[in-house]
């Protein structure tokens, strides 16, 4: 019996379920009072998610037309079975007994943790599909078996932003079978992987703006119920100086939020716009865990570590030629006086009639700058800021450092941090020249940030 147990391919799934059961105080009604555990229904839901669903998945993975998993071959033939259908058939809570599978052609176990994504290739006959042998999973980290094992969500509005994040993954869980399911009604597109000790779900937004961000965050909460931190990563507009100081911000620098100002929420009068800024209208401050880590990262040693790791990760991204994440050059980083309006329509300043002299920048005069990290308030709204005068007025009034369009939508749904790379100065001279580089610096900073975020004890294995 001992030998059979030692050779049991999926024993870790069983032991994980048993461990969850043994340490689940809510089973006997002993859990601390909380919204999720203070009712019988809440305890049942938690027990099902942590224990029963794992055992159900293990049981069903052994059932394919009455055959045990140990008889499945990595090269068996599946007749008329599409990828999505197969993944859905082997997800939690879905029986595989009705799937139309041919008899196995070879002996050998199908390893749940090392099986590749089911990348079907048409055979010569055309109507049959071959499941190729899977590569072994790279790295020492185990692939999570359940959506509840994900605690970090990263939300990106643009494809170039998501590409930079995916390039930072240490493991790509979507490359391994089985695929993860979604809650009923969830229309989100996800990519799953790991960054350091964290299992991460990347959410690809269908469009920009607060509404879209709120929608994808709400959907994610249903499919990945244990998310403890959402990071909105991408590009933003920036003020040229940190409010109240002479500290320069140049394009490619990264802004990390310690709060959000929803600057387009208010009343439009005939002669002015009045922003709603009462306590009930304002977004709350970050929770204590986020405030604590931000305070830590402002410290001398942690800040040096953050910058050092961020630079290393950025160097790796710049080697990915398809990302096109190279620094565009100091000559393309032009800051004009706030009162200087762009005269060339959609043309770049060097091609238009913008004759004003750019503002001198000390950091740019010293050569290619290393991207810096700035902490502060970020203005979030559905309006693109393209006015230097309004930018400076809002910076003076609200002490904001950057301008973006998604953070406010996520803020009330998840504990949230916004990490965005400065790609323009939020004025009429706005271009997209720095977008790819800024997306890369933001992604690098997000990975460096996660080095300081401690996962829950139950997820450390």
Give mean pLDDT, residues 246-253: 95
Mean pLDDT over 205-234 rounds to 96
User: What is the per-residue pLDDT for 207?
Assistant: 93
Bond prior to 178 in cis (omega within 30° of 0): yes
Stretch among 134-148, 176-190, 282-296, 321-335 having the lowest mean pLDDT: 134-148
Q: What is the mean pLDDT of residues 82-93?
A: 38
In this prediction, residue 363 carries a pLDDT of 94
Rounded average pLDDT over 265-277:
61
Three-state secondary structure call for residue 137: coil
pLDDT digits (tens, 9 = 90+) for 420-461: 999 999 887 788 999 999 999 999 999 999 999 998 765 444
- What is the model's pTM? 0.69
The Cα diameter of the chain in Å comes to: 84
pLDDT value at position 426? 87
pLDDT, residue 395, reads: 87
Confidence bin at 244 (pLDDT 50/70/90)? confident
pLDDT of residue 247 exceeding 90, the answer is yes
Distance between CA atoms of 30 and 38, rounded to whole angstroms?
10
Closest CA to 186 of 150, 219, 138: 219
Q: List Cα–Cα distances, 329 to 67, 322, 437, in angstroms.
A: 62, 19, 11
What's the burial of 344, exposed, middle or buried (CB within 10 Å: 0-12/13-18/19+)? middle
Residue scoring higher pLDDT (336 or 168)? 168
> CB within 8 A of 278, min separation 6: which ones?
none
pLDDT for the residue numbered 11: 67
DSSP string across 246-281: --B--TT-EEEEEEEEETT-EEE-SS-EEE--STTT
Beta strands in 112-269 (DSSP E): 121-122, 128-130, 152-156, 171-172, 189-195, 198-204, 229-238, 254-262, 266-268
Looking at the predicted structure, is the pLDDT value of residue 336 above 70?
A: yes
Mean pLDDT of the chain: 77
* Alpha carbons 162 and 445: distance in angstroms, whole number: 14
Radius of gyration of the chain from its Cα atoms, rounded to whole angstroms: 25
Residues 40-51: what's their mean pLDDT? 71
Q: Which of 134-143, 172-181, 324-333, 350-359 has the highest mean pLDDT?
A: 324-333
Cα separation of 227 and 200, whole Å? 9
Say which residues have a Cβ less than 8 Å from residue 265's Cβ, sequence separation at least 6. 275, 276, 281, 381
């Amino acid at each position: 019996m001992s030998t059979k147990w030692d050779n049991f391919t999926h024993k870790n799934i069983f032991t994980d379920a048993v461990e969850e059961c043994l340490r689940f105080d809510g089973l006997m009604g002993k859990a601390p009072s909380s919204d999720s555990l203070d009712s019988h229904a809440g305890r049942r839901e938690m027990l099902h998610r942590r224990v029963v669903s794992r055992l159900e998945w293990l049981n069903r993975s052994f059932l394919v037309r009455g055959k045990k998993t140990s008889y499945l071959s990595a090269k068996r033939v599946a007749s008329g079975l599409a990828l999505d259908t197969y993944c859905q058939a082997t997800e939690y809570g879905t029986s595989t007994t009705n799937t139309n599978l041919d008899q196995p052609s070879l002996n050998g176990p199908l390893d749940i943790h090392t099986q590749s994504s089911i990348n079907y290739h048409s055979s010569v006959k055309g109507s049959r599909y071959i499941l190729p042998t899977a590569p072994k999973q790279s790295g020492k980290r185990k692939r999570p078996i359940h959506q509840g094992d994900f605690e970090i969500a990263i939300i990106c509005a643009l494809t170039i932003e998501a590409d930079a994040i995916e390039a930072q993954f240490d493991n790509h869980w979507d490359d391994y079978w089985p695929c993860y399911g979604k809650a009923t009604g969830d229309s989100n597109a996800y990519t799953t992987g790991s960054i350091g000790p964290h299992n991460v779900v990347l959410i690809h937004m269908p469009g920009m703006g607060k509404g879209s961000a709120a929608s994808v965050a709400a959907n994610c909460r249903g499919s990945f119920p244990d998310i403890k931190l959402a990071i909105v990563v991408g590009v933003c507009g920036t003020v040229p100086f940190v409010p109240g100081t002479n500290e320069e911000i140049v394009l490619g620098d990264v802004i990390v939020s310690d709060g959000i100002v929803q600057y387009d929420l208010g009343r439009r009068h005939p002669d002015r716009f009045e922003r709603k800024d009462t306590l009930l209208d304002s977004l709350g401050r970050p929770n204590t865990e986020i405030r604590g880590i931000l305070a830590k990262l402002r410290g001398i040693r942690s800040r040096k570590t953050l910058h050092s790791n961020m630079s290393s990760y950025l160097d790796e991204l710049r080697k990915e030629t398809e990302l096109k994440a190279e620094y565009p050059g100091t000559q393309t980083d032009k800051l004009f006086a706030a009162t200087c309006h762009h005269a060339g329509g959609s043309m770049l300043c060097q091609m238009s009639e913008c004759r004003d002299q750019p503002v001198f920048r000390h950091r740019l005069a010293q050569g290619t700058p290393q991207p810096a990290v700035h902490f502060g308030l970020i203005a979030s709204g559905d309006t693109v800021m393209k006015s230097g005068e309004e930018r400076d007025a809002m910076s003076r009034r609200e002490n904001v450092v950057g301008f973006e369009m998604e953070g406010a939508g996520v803020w009330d749904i998840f504990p949230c941090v916004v990490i965005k790379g400065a790609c323009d100065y939020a004025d009429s001279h706005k271009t997209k020249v720095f977008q790819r580089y800024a997306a890369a610096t933001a992604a690098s900073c997000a990975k460096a940030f996660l080095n300081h975020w401690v996962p829950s004890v139950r997820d450390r294995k």
